[in-house]
Amino acid sequence: MGFGSMRLTPRPDRSVAVRVLRRAVELGVNHIDTAAFYVSPGGILGVGTGAARFATELIREALSPYDPRLFLATKVGPGILPSGEFETAETPARLRAQVEENLRRLGVDRLDLVNLRLTRRDGPIADRFAALAALRDEGLIRHLGLSNATPAHVDEASAIAPVVCVQNSYALDLRRDDDLPRALAVRGIAFVPFFAIAGPSREDGATAVTDAAVNSLAEARGVTPHQIRLAWTLHQGENVLAIPGTGDEAHLEQNIAAGALKLTAEELARLE
């Protein structure tokens, strides 16, 4: 069970985000997911970069100097310009700028993993992925991955450099890429789904409306519906890593505890 940092930025109290991050590592999390565009609304609206709260900066404040066992994964493509405006990097120069921003804000010399985040699921990606592969060859990046990608994108990128993971939206009730986890497992590629809890609500976060089968099973097991959803996610393959995010310490502990929740074949069938 990893930790996604996107939901740390809206919290008005910076110390809460720092405490949640430190607690995650105390509980055994060694995979932190982030991106340079994970920033408070003030940053996106151009209120001033001084007022912006970047998740990467929160991670550095909470966890640096980093335990060598800690794995930091980030994304490039979407980003925030110095003016505070949103951008989608399409050129090698802008992708390098985003990589360098991640390095600076995280306070590291090399990024463990950089995912190329695709804002659309059609069209070629070779030029952008090759630009990241060049930065890997320079020693600025350790591993490369893709986000919001199709199997065709994986093939295209793999011809340029090894793809170690694919990070797509995926949940019990958000099944756009249902065959992808198993197809990636055959190739030795990790699948890292996001929105595992939120499902179709996506950026709006988890809602009170959940499937009856999820609620029924959660009640029978004495756990929360969110924990059932996370457990189902991890049962989709040995190569699957969940990265639920939260700015609440109690929810964090529940999410991590879901990693130990084993579902029977009958329970999985009921959820299906």
Residue numbers annotated as active site: 38
Distances (CA, A) of 29 to 23, 228, 252: 9, 19, 11
CA distance 146 to 77: 10
Backbone angles phi, psi at 215, to 5 degrees: -60, -45
CA distance 135 to 129: 10
Distances (CA, A) of 231 to 120, 183, 242, 254, 256: 29, 20, 9, 11, 10
Say which residue the tokens 């804002």 belong to: 119
Among candidates 159, 163, 172, which has minimal Cα distance to 239? 163
Q: 199: which residues sit within 8 A by CB, 6+ positions away?
A: 171, 172, 173, 174, 206, 229
Backbone angles phi, psi at 80, to 5 degrees: -120, 120
